[in-house]
Amino acid sequence: MKLSLAPDGSIALESALVSLRGLRPVLNGEFLPGDPVTLRAEPAGEPKSILAQYAVPAGGTFTIEIALVGTGRCDLRCRVEDLPETVALDVFGLRFGAVENLRAFLRSGYTSWDGSQFIETPGGGGEEATGYALTQLLPRYGTGSVIVGFDRHDRFQQTFTVDARTAPPSLTILTHWDRKARGAGAPESERLVIFESGEVEEALREWARIVAAAAPVPPRFPAAPITGWCSWYNLYAAITEENVLEHLRGTAEVARREGLPMRVFQLDDGFTPEMGDWLDVRPQFPRGIKPLLDDIRAAGFVPGLWIAPFLVGNRSRLYREHPDWVMHDRQTGGPLAVMTFYGEFRWHKRSEEYYTLDATHPDALDYLRRVFHTWRHEWGCEYFKTDFMHFPTVFGPDRAAWHAPGRTRIAIWRGAAEMIREAIGDATWLGCGCPLWASVGLVDAIRIGRDVGVQWAGERSALSLLRDQELRGFANHILWESDPDCILLREQFHHLTDAELRSLAIYAGMAAGVVMTSDALHHLSADRLRLWKLVLSPRAAVCRSPLLGQVDDPVRVQVRTSRAAAPEWPAALFFFNTGDHPVQRMYSLAALGLPEPLYLYDWTARQPWPGPVSQIALTIAPHDGTLLFAGPDPITSAPDRLP
């Protein structure tokens, strides 16, 4: 990668893969007019650094500094100096008017549920899409990628918009200042890191390592893998003390009998009457929650609870008594609803509207602190699943009226999240519906997709898992432990075929992240228990997607390698045909990053391959997969040694 100046003075970042040209500053959504008033390139011939300053019509200076770091990377910062206080600063950043040789780009969602995907650029007539934190640019000609991403995410929300409606596409990168109080220093962006790589997934891992190194608090990881049982996808909101204890007895008995490494037993939503009334308990739990958590602990599990700390229902006692504790709508003056249920379905509650707890209100924040302290230190909760965590980050100051303005939406969120971590101490924390990148250093694990569904396609279905696990797995064990959501095991009450259910379970388990189920283990058949044992099997592993970036290929390829010193089976390989038609594929072990030759055992067909092999040829039915275990020696007694 190199820096260059065009004859007209415009700045370009040139790469053999994807080049970025025509840099212009953006302030509050508008291009700054005119050429730079200062333009300094050092050295002049082949610059290693460039400083460009532009006059702001309202007053002040917009400065862009770019510096090469090594041969394949450059760092960039923007700042706005001497801007009059009368000018509200919402966003600032830059735009590259031409992104050359672009085949596809990564639209990275901001939260657990705001999925990530590669979007192809047809060369005109494409679409405009906005992502967050980073983008990855895939070349039309050549292999590898270019990463463009910020290093810190605890202070600002940052967006990346690719407009592929014209050729070549443009890229606009913005920092959301959110009218933050400016103080003594000039508003400045975080460091924008741009680098080229011969890889796709490994380039994303390198960006994650940069984020980890820059984080003000080092990333956290659970002391032991998060595995276990959660009530939601079986009992949903219809939980009672009686049916929870029934599942506890069944889970404990099967886990002991089968030697299952299940750690957590978690109650999900349904034990509190309304969102916001977190210290009240429904009558279906006559003893309260503490005795039930004690029962869970006595059964050998870590007791866990679900909470949506920022949600406040309009029919909650909290809102009735403290209507000033929620975020208000600057346009109407009333509470700003982030979620509504006006029709027949009321989400098993009475509330029609849900508001966001105003974390800038000291009394509201003190209440939330008391809730978490009570749950942790009085009730004995040791595992927290916090949900709908992103709602404080949805609106900026153009809509949201906070009790105490002057901070960015991310600074407000981060302050509340730091309070939660302080209140729960060393308990395990899983964030759901959560800002992915602002959470680094606070949560132990994070959901990486939408809720698991009971069908292949649709609103809540397998499609989210298939998309988001592959494109967010790079951060697993670098920024947090990733959670693909609960694994479906039951043999009825869903719309999946046996092949779909088995393949989805393996696909989720291969990630070597969180592994939970909601199904009654004591009702499972021997085959489904074998599947559950498989996905729970050794978690000390790294999962790679070596063919990431092949946007059109319906086959997902996962390679999981053990981190053990001398593993018996150093690798597991899963080939999942997510398409609607049979496919035939051939892969060399070298292309999958594995030594050759290797011996293979087909877990799905329960038989060894005649080997050894240096390449793998497969025919895979639609919505089905093949799981192979690979080792350096003949696999003759694998049924005795594999789940």
CATH number at residue 27: 2.70.98.10
Tokens standing for 369? 């602190």
Q: Is 622 inside any structural domain?
A: yes
Give the total number of structural domains in the chain.
2
Last residue of a domain, one of 214, 245, 267: 214
Q: Is 134 inside any structural domain?
A: yes
DSSP state of 397: T
Find out whether 227 and 169 touch, Cβ atoms under 8 Å.
no
* N residues, the chain: 643
pLDDT higher than 70, residue 462: yes
Closest among 414, 288, 386, 400 to 334, alpha carbons compared: 400
- 44-54 pLDDT, tens per residue? 888 999 999 99
Determine the structural domain holding residue 72 and report its residue range.
2-214
CATH number at residue 637: 2.60.40.1180
pLDDT at residue 321 in the model: 98
Scanning 303-408, the segments in alpha helix (DSSP H) are 317-321, 362-373
Sequence-distant (6+) residues with CB within 8 A of 214 are 151, 152, 191
Instruction: Give the burial class of 301: count Cβ atoms within 10 A of its Cβ; 0-12 exposed, 13-18 middle, 19 or more buried.
Output: buried
Last residue of a domain, one of 214, 244, 271: 214
Last residue of a domain, one of 157, 187, 214: 214
Closest among 376, 278, 398, 257 to 331, alpha carbons compared: 398
- 346-355 pLDDT, tens per residue? 888 999 999 9
- 312-329 pLDDT, tens per residue? 999 999 999 999 999 999
Q: Is 202 inside any structural domain?
A: yes
Q: Is 475 inside any structural domain?
A: no
Tokens standing for 458? 């649709």
pTM of the model: 0.96
- 105-124 pLDDT, tens per residue? 999 999 999 999 999 999 88
Closest among 245, 217, 107 to 152, alpha carbons compared: 217
Per the prediction, the chain carries an average pLDDT of: 94
pLDDT at residue 643 in the model: 61
Q: Is 596 inside any structural domain?
A: yes
